[in-house]
Structure 1
Amino acid sequence: MAGHTHKEHKGEALVEAARLTLTDHGEQWTGMRQSVFEELAAHDRPVSAYDIADNLSASRGKRVAPNSVYRILDLFVRTNLANRIESANAYLVNTHPGCRHDCIFLICDDCGKASHLDDERVTGALRAAGKDAGFTDVRPVVELRGLCDDCAA
């Protein structure tokens, strides 16, 4: 499988990498943005904006509007801090912020766990096909659904 190497982050190192990536894009790292990022990073499955808003509302003791969370998540997707899982209408943290490439997402239909793999042969071919069809700034979104090893066993 063709791919490239990137550094995966977790815990505080992931939060710091996200902060640096966001500020490098000229955006502010606010308390609410940090809270949304930390909540998103706490999940190994795609999570919805509504789930994030509910969890933050409970932990903060005051209502957090899902629309505010959606705006932050959209910013995170634009700046490569998160990925939108289209088929689940949910989001997954990018564990290697600042490293832009096309991922192929693998989503378990049973438990909902999501992972990704990098295969530039596949995404490169999709990008080339889009350009051949007259599109510019082509961004492949590839999702494969099935059963993870644990659920298939």
Structure 2
Amino acid sequence: MATQIHQHAEHSGEDLTAAAQRTLTDAGEQWTGMRASVFEELASHERPASAYDIADNLSASRGKRVAPNSVYRILDLFVRTNLANRIESANAYLVNTHPGCRHDCIFLICDDCGKASHLDDRRVTDALRAAGHDAGFAAVRPVVELRGLCESCAA
């Protein structure tokens, strides 16, 4: 049985930043200098990054301390507005390369190198959402993470 793929436009570089800015302002939020810096720093990571990683890198590049709590608040906003995804098991964040496209992801996380990728399979996430509704939950948002070895590390 084939995986059902959710179609969306992937963005990168300046196009990704512009798409993120549009998505955030369309949600009624401001695209501030600090929010832009946090987004660009997060986007520069190929693997999930923690708020502390981002705060440390921004502190170094700005020459003044950036508080992790400030970064956490911005990252929480990014998750709410679909600019970033939170990798729950690692307490880390991954930029969403298709901001504004809301759907459920199944994250694949390598236990060896830390690489994280996602796939879309509506059969799985729809079944989880239905199970939550059947149990009396409303506004169910599936968060699925599979841990294992990526193709490179397994070789």
TM-score by length of 2: 0.98
Aligned residue for 1:105, secondary structure, equals: strand
Of 49, 52, 55, the match for 1:53: 55
Quick one: distance in 2 between partners of 1:56 and 1:150? 31
1:30 — aligned with what?
A: 32
Quick one: distance in 2 between partners of 1:151 and 1:59? 32
2:115 — aligned with what?
A: 113
1:75 — aligned with what?
A: 77
Quick one: distance in 1 between partners of 2:127 and 2:5? 13
Structure 2: segments with no counterpart, 5+ residues: none
Matched, 1:18 2:20: yes
Q: Deviations over 1:74-121 (max 9, x none)?
A: 000000000000000000000000000000000000000000000000
Q: Deviations over 1:19-40 (max 9, x none)?
A: 0000000000000000000000
2:88 — aligned with what?
A: 86
Equivalenced residue count is: 153
CA RMSD of aligned residues (A): 0.4
**Cα offset, 1:143, TM superposition:** 0.1
Aligned residue for 1:40, secondary structure, equals: helix
Matched, 1:139 2:141: yes
Structure 1 segments of 4+ aligned residues over 6 angstroms from their partners: none
Quick one: distance in 1 between partners of 2:54 and 2:39? 9
**Cα offset, 1:44, TM superposition:** 1.2
Quick one: distance in 2 between partners of 1:150 and 1:35? 31
Aligned residue for 2:47, secondary structure, equals: coil
Of 4, 18, 21, the match for 2:6: 4
Quick one: distance in 1 between partners of 2:141 and 2:87? 14
**Cα offset, 1:3, TM superposition:** 2.2
Letter in 1 for 2:22: L
1:101 — aligned with what?
A: 103
Letter in 2 for 1:57: S
**Cα offset, 1:4, TM superposition:** 1.4
TM-score by length of 1: 0.99
Letter in 1 for 2:10: E
Letter in 1 for 2:44: A
